[in-house]
Structure formats: C-alpha cells, structure tokens
Chains A and B, each alone.
Chain A
C-alpha cells in the first residue's frame, strides 16, 4: 500500500517536498481526465435512458426506470410513487390513474382504499435500470449487420489503399529527385486546406460522371489520396538514410524491391499511425457517404444511424444508443493501441 502511495506521489525534483508545480500538474491532469472522459460517459449513460427520461430536467447521472407494483384488482402493474401526505408523512403508493392535477393512488398493501393525491406531492419511485430497447430495437428493425459489413468494407479497403498509394507517392517524393517534385509537393500540401464540404457539389458531379454513385467504391476512392498521409509518410521517409537504398541497389534490388522490402518495413511506425487514423476517419465518415449512398444495402453505420433523424422529429434514444455502438471499435482501437498511437505520433509526427 505504502509503495503504491509513494509511486503515486512520486514527483520530480529531489527531497520529499511537493513543489507547487507538482500540485498544479496533478490538478491539471486529473481535471483533464474528468473533462476528457466525462462527456463520453455521459453519452453512454444517456443512451441507456428512455425517451421521456432523456427530455427530463434535471437530468440524472444514471439511467432510471420507474418501479411498479402488482396490485390486486389491476391487470397491469401500477407505477409506484412516494407521496407526501397532508400530515407531512411519506408513503409509497401505486398510482391507479391520474386526472388532471390529481392522482388516484392506492396502497399496494391495502388495494381497496383509494387515496386522491395532488400530483405535485408525489415523486416517482425509481431504480437504476436500463432502457435496453434503445439497443435491441435498432438491432431488430435496422439492418445493423448490413451496415456493419459496409462500414468494415469501406474502412478496410480505404485504409489498405490509402497506405499503398500514399506510401508509394511519399517514397517517390522523398527518395528521388526529379523535375516537378516541388510542384507536386506544393499541390499536395496546398489541398490540405480544402475541406470536403466546400467542394461537395463538384466532387459529387465527378463521382457521378465516373459512375461510382451509389457504390461503396464511390465512398472509398475519393478519400484515399489523402494529402495528410502523403505528407506524414514523406516526412518519416526523409529520416531513413539514403545509404540503405544504395546498399540495396548494390545488392541488385530493383526500385520496387527497395520500396517494398526496405522502405515499407522501415516506415512501419508511420504507416501504423496513418492506418489508425485512416481507420478512425473512414469509420467516422459521415457527410461524404451520406451524399454518395442512397441505397439501404450500401449504408454504412454512421449513415444508418442517421435514418433516425426525420424531418420533424429526431429519435434521440436510438441515435444515442447506435452512436455508442459505433464508438465501440474506436474505443477498442484506443484501448489496445493507444500506446502505439501516442508513441507513434510522437515518433512519426514531426521529425
């Protein structure tokens, strides 16, 4: 125990005193943890609430369900309330019906005597519980597995192709000198600044002209030549010594082999970072697939869950629950690969 304590309270500097910066750092980090994770936890908790509870204020931290009691003489279980009686005492009563501002209540232990209570004097008895319908209904009505398959297909092929094409281009741009290289680089970096929503209409007409509308490849192809990827990989490849390439050339390796057998394996950390980002990006893509895909059997999860957004109403309970479901892979990536990602970016990001 004490070792844990000393581990946790280990700080920089010498001697045993806490410097004010240590305190400030810990406050910052712990505050940051609450701020970073809190909202996601809130989303999960909200996704377990039924529609009525979602709209409720004050919101509860945890999802609750109304307690009911089976009362003799009534076919269905009745909702339970804690009622403040006129003498100030409180009793748990079941509600038979409500008429306007008054409720007909009954004591489950004494089902014959009905009591009239003002509704302001009663509060529902609730227990922590889950509105599992939020999760089960979409799985029944919503082509979850079709959407999942499409999302996986898009994510997988987009990532593979991104890695391939970007690394090849980055190789050419980092390890060869040729006329126009700087121009190509400038164009690539320049387009970093063009957000998709801005060229939506022209891009749509291009994709439509190429015949990729309503096709998963129409979602995949426009995303794979990412300037970010080329840039990231090129920066990393610049750090690979040219000696290795020359050694390989002396070793009878063709240029393709140099790329394939020397450069690619050595770029692995940067490729991993790009792969993870690509997976997250493609998995989360919303606007573009929404524009390209209009057939249900081609929908990705993000588009699928948006079908709960109607013209006049949004079915938040379903959207929230499906959002949580679509977050699972991302969270898994995070949990299992976070060390890889964080150190990878640190290593590959900027050199």
Chain B
C-alpha cells in the first residue's frame, strides 16, 4: 500500500500544479480528435465499399491506378500539357498570345537565341539580354549556392551543439521560409534603398551613405544575400536532421583518438552527411536557377542589367512587357530547362558515384 502511494507520488510529482490542466487535456484531447476525425471516418465508410469493389474487379493493379490517377491526371493537365505546349510555342513566332493564332517559324527562335559571336560577351549576341541573364544566373547560382550551403552548414553545426535555447534558434532561422517571396523582396528593398534602414545604420556609424541597389556589386550581393536569408532555414533543418542522425559514438571514438575538430568535420561529419548534402545541393541549385520573385521585387534586374536573371527575362519577354514575344520566351525557357536537367543529372550521378565508392 505504501509502495503504491509512493509510486503515485512519484508519477504525479513532475506534473506539478498543471496536473488538473493536463487531466483535462487528456480527457478533451481524444474527444476533440474524434470530432475532427468524424468527417474522415464517415468519408472512409462511404469510400471503402466502392474501393473494395474496384479491387475485386480490377485487382491490385487496378488499385495502383486508382491511387495514381487523381494526382497524375491533375499533374498531366496542369503541368505536363503546359510544358508540351511551351515546347510548341517555342517554334512559333509573332506577338499573338493564343497558340492557334500563331505562325509556325520552326527553329527560328532558337537560332535567334543562340546567334552569338562569342558566348562570353553578351553584346556580340543577337539576343544580348538573354545572354546577360544567362551570365548573371550562372554567377548567381555559383555564389548563392555556395554561400547558402556554407551558412546553412555553419548554422546546423552550431544548432547541433548542446546549448541552451536550441529549439528557439532553430525556429528563428526558419522564420523567413514562411514569408512570401514578394514580401521578402519588399522588406529588403525597404531596408536597402537610399532612404532605407541600412543607410540609417551606416550613417550613424559616420560612414557615407551608399545607394546599395545602384551599385552593381552591392546589388548582386544583395540578391544573393536576400535569397540566402529567405531560404537558408529550410536547408539548415535538412542538414541538422542529417547531423543528428550521425551516431554520437563516432564522435566519442574520434575524441578518444584525439582527432582535431577540423579533421572530425572533414572526415566524419561531411562524409556521413553526404545524402543530405546531395539533397541540399540539388534543391539549392534548382531554386537558384529559378530565382525570380524576391530578386525582381528587390532590384528589378538593375542596376543596368546586373541582376536580371533568366526567369525575369523569360517572364518579361513572354508575358509582362507590352511588347511580348511568347515564342522567344518559350524557347529561352526550354534552353534553361535543358541546362537544369543536365545539371541535376550530373549532380545526382556524381553523388551516386561517390556513394558507391564509399560502399566499396
């Protein structure tokens, strides 16, 4: 008897004063859950016999189709067909918007885009803005992906340390991921413009005001920095997940071997983080190439055309400007898509080969 009481006390003690609250929650929780789940239960009651019938008639193969069809139908209509149409567009010319009013011009748009004396000098190209956008996008991806991966990695490594407030800081870095790109661009433009917050800070320290977005270097850096700011939280979490999956005893073993921390990072952490790092790299790469909303709102592509990226070029040529040329835009997007696919396949191939090498 006494034993039992002691046991009850032991279990009750940590609950402290909010025990009643917890009991209430325990009682309300399931009730709430039932109320919320009721519609789902009813739906399932209704669907189940139908599905059994289908399974009986069409077998498991039929069920696979049932599972795939809703997604694939929508996917086909709203993603695949537009992509195919886009391909068709790229072979048509004129300013008309609807496909059936447009004239077939064959590979003319592609010829125009690739007509270049020297691919490294946009001005020597027939469509100089396309090549400027391509150059800008290339350097943007190069710097932005490296910056983002390093910053995310550092943050993940720090968050992986055993320190106070880890959950809080994890959330802090994730916060901007939830903002819409338009808002992100807007906020930062507000900060970086001539009369913005950053200049207030800079002048408070006695320095000259800089018109950040008028300077090729700063504007490009701002585009990189802002997109890193907006997305790094997501990548940090993926890397953090990978870090936490690395068994602790490996580090203990390394400590026993008196391995210097840098070596621990390069020889243990990094290789074991491989799969996560590959995902991060591929996603960052794809996002980098697709950079649009936040940079467009932030810099409008300026100064000059210093931050005009591929997607902005396509959007403006094909849709936004009064002088649209949908065929040219479509051809440009097809070229960009081809580069992306090649890059991703290369990336995946490399990481797969690395993985295989490690397995051996």
Contact = CB atoms under 8 A, between A and B. Distances in A.
- Decide if A and B touch, CB cutoff 8 A: yes
Interface of A: 7-12, 21-22, 25, 28-29, 32-33, 35-37, 39-40, 42-43, 46, 55-59, 164-166, 168-169, 171-173, 176, 178, 184, 187-188, 190-195, 197-203, 205-207, 210, 221-222, 224-225, 227, 230, 254-257, 259-261, 280, 283-287, 302, 319-320, 323, 327, 330-331, 333-334, 338-339, 341-342, 345-347, 349-350
A256 B52 contact: yes
Interface stretch (B2-10, B214-222, B238-246, B352-360): B238-246
Given A10-B163, A32-B155, A256-B48, A333 B169 contact: no
Contacts of A39: 187-188, 191, 229
A225 B83 CA distance: 15
A12 B80 contact: no
Contacts of B337: 193-194, 198
B116 interface: no
Nearest to B204: A58
Contacts of B333: 198-199
If over half of A's interface residues share one DSSP class (helix, strand or loop), that class is named, otherwise mixed; here it is helix
B279 A302 contact: no
B91 interface: no
B72 A184 contact: yes
B190 A43 contact: yes
A55 B48 contact: no
A127 B60 CA distance: 72
B272 interface: no
Contact of A35 (B44, B164, B229, B240): B229
A59 B197 contact: yes
B173 A32 contact: yes
Contact of A168 (B68, B240, B319, B326): B68
B175 A166 contact: no
B134 interface: no
Nearest to A329: B178
Given A29-B169, A58-B195, A193-B337, 18 more contacts: A35-B229, A36-B176, A39-B188, A165-B71, A172-B64, A194-B337, A195-B292, A197-B311, A202-B81, A207-B78, A255-B51, A256-B51, A331-B178, A334-B178, A342-B237, A345-B241, A346-B241, A350-B238
A327 B163 contact: no
A58 B203 contact: yes
Nearest to A9: B164
A191 B341 CA distance: 10
Nearest to A24: B158
A16 B48 CA distance: 63
Contacts of B114: none
B60 A176 contact: yes
30 contacts: A10-B164, A12-B162, A28-B154, A37-B172, A40-B187, A56-B195, A58-B199, A59-B196, A164-B70, A168-B68, A169-B68, A172-B64, A193-B286, A195-B311, A198-B315, A203-B82, A205-B98, A222-B78, A225-B74, A255-B67, A284-B182, A286-B180, A320-B186, A323-B183, A333-B178, A345-B234, A349-B279, A350-B241, A350-B242, A350-B279
A284 B71 CA distance: 23
Q: Which 3 A-B pairs have the closest CB atoms?
A: A284-B180, A256-B51, A202-B85
Given A28-B154, A254-B52, A284-B179, A172 B237 contact: no
Given A195-B292, A199-B82, A202-B86, A176 B52 contact: no
A33 B341 contact: no
Interface in B301-329: 311, 314-315, 318-319, 326, 329
A57 B242 CA distance: 46
Given A58-B200, A254-B52, A349-B237, A193 B340 contact: yes
Nearest to A280: B178
Contacts of A334: 171, 174-175, 178
Interface in B62-79: 63-64, 66-68, 70-72, 74-75, 77-79
Nearest to A208: B98
B16 interface: no
Nearest to B203: A58
A162 to B, nearest CB: 9
A254 B78 contact: no
Given A58-B203, A169-B68, A206-B78, A302 B180 contact: yes
Interface string B101-141: 00000000000000000000000000000000000000000
